[in-house]
Every structure is written in C-alpha cells, then in structure tokens.
Amino acid sequence: MAMRETTSRDGLQLANVPYPAPDHAEARLFGDWEKAVEHLTHHLLTAPECHAWALVIDDYTRLVDLRSADARFHFVEQARASHGQSAQALYDRYAHAVSADLRDASQLEWFVQHGQVTVAMGTTGILVVIVAVGGNDTLDRPRPIVKTAFLAGQGDPEAVRKSHRIPAAERRGMMRERPMRTPKRHGVSGEARGRRQRLREARWSTEERLYYRVFRPSVQHIMRCHHRNRDMFGRLRGNDYALLKDVLPRRSQLKLDHWRELRRDCRGDGLKP
C-alpha cells in the first residue's frame, strides 16, 4: 500500500512507494504537487495513454470521463487550481498501481540501477524511473524520487502535448506517422478501424486486455528502445528504459500464459491491481 505523506496542508498529499532495490525502503512519488499534477495531466489524462490506464485503475472511469477531452481538460484545470487536492483520489489510485508494480519489480528483479537512476517495471507494465537526488553532504543520504511512472508503448503523450503547442511547420520530429501508409485513396477510416478493434476486444477477458493492451506494448517499447536510443557508436542516448531489456525474460518466456503465472506469483490473484 502506498504510504501518504502530507507536504502541503491544503494541497495534494504525496505518497511514498516501495523502492525496488535494497538500498532504500521507499521513494517519493514526485517531488511536489505541481510535478505530480503535471504527470497526471500528460499521462493519465492525455489520450491515447489514458485509455490504457482505464484498464489498470479499476474505477478510473468513475473519476474522469475519458471519452471527453473537455472533461479531462476540466479535471486538469481543477487540479491545478486546488494545488492537486481535487485530483487526490486519482493520484491515490495511481500510487496504488505504481506501488504494486514496484513490488513486482523487486520480487522479479525487473529493475536496473544506473548511476543515480533506477528503472523498474512490474507485471502491469508501468515503467518507473526513480532518481536519487541530493546527498552531497556526507550525513545527508540521497532521496529517491519517482520522476516518471507511465504506460510505455501507448503513443507518446509528450509528443501529443508538444504538438498542441508548436505550429505544424515547426513540428520537427514529432507526431510522425508512417508516411508510406498515408491514405492516397479511399479506405477504411481510422474511426471505423477503431470500432472494429473495440468489437474484437470485447470478446477478450480482462486479463487478455491487460496483457495485450498494456503489458506487452510496454515490453515492446523497452525492446524497441534498445537499438533506437543509441548514437551511431552504440552509446545510449535519451533515456535509460532500454537497460531493462537485459533483466526482462525473453519473448519465449513472456507469453500470455507465462505472464499469468508471474502475475499470480506476485499478486496471488492475477487481476488484483
């Protein structure tokens, strides 16, 4: 269970989450309420990632109407105005999900430490980056703070956010689609494809949805980063997610049935968040 810690009397109460490695017990879930609200905005309240969170956080759709961009925007505005207080319920559920994944990471040893950075992932597929800050003084130990905890491989919320801010002509390297697939003739619209997809997924079990729509894309994102986050000499650039590749099981050991087993080992009940 995430431990709450009051940081401002009237604003968001920040939580501590388990630290996956033995050198610390806990990490703070973001440095302050502003960072926390910013993160909720860009990941839990921005499409397409918000729809994946709805599969992770049980009663998420009771808190926010995810189908409506206006409703999400309104939620963000209220959260900012109240210093995060109005988003407390969402934050707590989010902290609960992150905590559970960090416990999985600890049990399965799905984490990597690289300098001051620890990258971890659990059986839901939440990718967590923790940075140890401070500690220059010999008596002052570095304090681990979660910098980001998101569902990877759901589309890039950062790119979505930037693209709204930057004129089309300057959207260099952002929001790229595969240009070769740009429709040149009539075809099935994206909306129609989405409808078909939803019909198909309706036949899936909750477990299958969580595996195929959340966990596996996250693993694929990490794998994809392995060759794509490097300069021409093979040095890692950009972020440390790719380091997780070496601690995750291989594809043949990470199919649906394997994942179910891992999930049961970690949580007892495969679906418990």
Partner 1 sequence: MNNRYVRKTLAATRNGVVDPSVEVHLWLDELQDVVRDYGEDLRSQQLPTEPAYDLLALLGKLRRARRDLIDDGDGRSEFEEAILLFEGNSQLLCQAALSVPNGEAWLHAATEYAASFDQVLDVGEETRWAVDLLEDLDDAELVIAVAARQGITDPEVENDVGRCTEWLGGHIDLFLPASVYAQAVGQTLRPDLEQWDYELAATVLKFVDLLDEAEQAEYEMQHPIVKPLLPSFVSCLYEQYRVECEGAPLTAFRASEVLPEEAEPVLAADADVELPQRCLRWRSPDGRYLAEMYVPPKPTDRGDEEPLVLVVYRQTDDAPAEELAGQRVWLGSATPKTLQKEGRVTFLLAELRVSDRLCLSVGSRDRLWEALEE
Closest CA to 127 of 148, 145, 107: 148
The encoded tokens of residue 253 equal 């050991």
Stretch that binds partner 1, among 65-73, 77-85, 121-129, 245-253 (CB under 8 A): 245-253
Amino acid at site 87: A
Q: Does 205 bind partner 1 (CB under 8 A)?
A: no
Q: Confirm if 147 and 127 have CB atoms less than 8 A apart.
A: no
Site for partner 1 in 248-267 (CB under 8 A): 250-252, 255
The single residue among 139, 168, 180, 202 that binds partner 1, judged by CB under 8 A, is 180
Q: Does 227 bind partner 1 (CB under 8 A)?
A: yes
Q: Does 245 bind partner 1 (CB under 8 A)?
A: yes
Residue reference for tokens 């140890």: 132
How far, in Å, CA of 20 to CA of 75, rounded?
32
- In terms of CB distance, is 63 or 159 closer to partner 1? 159
Q: Residue 154 carries which DSSP code?
A: S
The single residue among 96, 209, 226, 260 that binds partner 1, judged by CB under 8 A, is 226
- Angle (CA) 126-97-67 rounded to 5° is 80
- Angle (CA) 25-268-127 rounded to 5° is 50
Q: Does 238 bind partner 1 (CB under 8 A)?
A: yes
Instruction: Compose the 182-201 pattern: x for residues touching partner 1 by CB under 8 A, - for all others.
Output: xxxx-xx----x--xx--x-
The encoded tokens of residue 267 equal 């949580």
- In terms of CB distance, is 67 or 193 closer to partner 1? 193
The encoded tokens of residue 49 equal 């990632």
Residues that bind partner 1 (CB under 8 A): 172-173, 176, 178-185, 187-188, 193, 196-197, 200, 212, 216, 220, 223-224, 226-234, 237-239, 245, 250-252, 255
